[in-house]
């Protein structure tokens, strides 16, 4: 079975973004620079609350992207593209981090053969 290179590129970019973003928001980046005063802690909590739905959907999109790549299922590529699009809308400030993955998943979906054509 021939695997889609587009899905592989989207998967690598998605995993890299998720790892970086989880580290930044919950590890050493923004989480590590929070001061001791209550105002900065409240601001960091608010920012984390705003970005969490975006991150959760991006993680689910990466899972569907991996399923589409490894199983060769056309529908999973479509679901991954849709989830990347919804994640993009949920946090517009970071839309450019998932835009390429979304486009690659939709193009891969369009190029994958239908079940009857394979």
Any domain includes 118: no
Please write the tens of the pLDDT for every residue from 14-46. 999 999 998 888 776 655 566 667 777 777 778
Q: How many domains does the chain have?
A: 1
Any domain includes 116: no
Any domain includes 58: yes
Rounded to the nearest 5 degrees, what angle is found at the Cα of 106, between the Cα atoms of 67 and 75?
40
Any domain includes 11: yes
Any domain includes 54: yes
Range of the domain at 20: 5-111
Confidence (pLDDT) at 32: 59
Q: Answer whether 38's CB lies under 8 Å from 78's CB.
A: no
Q: What is the DSSP letter of 113?
A: P
- Please list the alpha-helical segments (H only) found in the chain: 5-26, 38-71, 74-90, 95-111
Rounded to the nearest 5 degrees, what angle is found at the Cα of 84, between the Cα atoms of 111 and 61?
90
Please write the tens of the pLDDT for every residue from 68-94. 999 999 999 999 999 999 999 999 998
pTM of the model: 0.86
């Amino acid at each position: 079975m021939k695997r889609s290179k587009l899905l592989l590129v989207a998967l690598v970019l998605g995993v890299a973004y998720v790892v970086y973003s989880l580290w930044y928001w919950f590890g050493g980046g923004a989480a590590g620079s929070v001061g001791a005063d209550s105002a900065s802690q409240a601001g960091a909590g608010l920012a984390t609350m705003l970005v969490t739905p975006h991150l959760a959907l991006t993680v689910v999109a990466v899972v569907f992207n991996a399923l589409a790549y490894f199983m060769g299922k056309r529908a999973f590529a479509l679901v991954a593209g849709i989830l990347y699009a919804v994640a993009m809308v949920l946090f517009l400030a970071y839309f450019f981090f998932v835009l390429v993955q979304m486009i690659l998943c939709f193009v891969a979906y369009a190029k994958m053969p239908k079940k009857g054509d394979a």
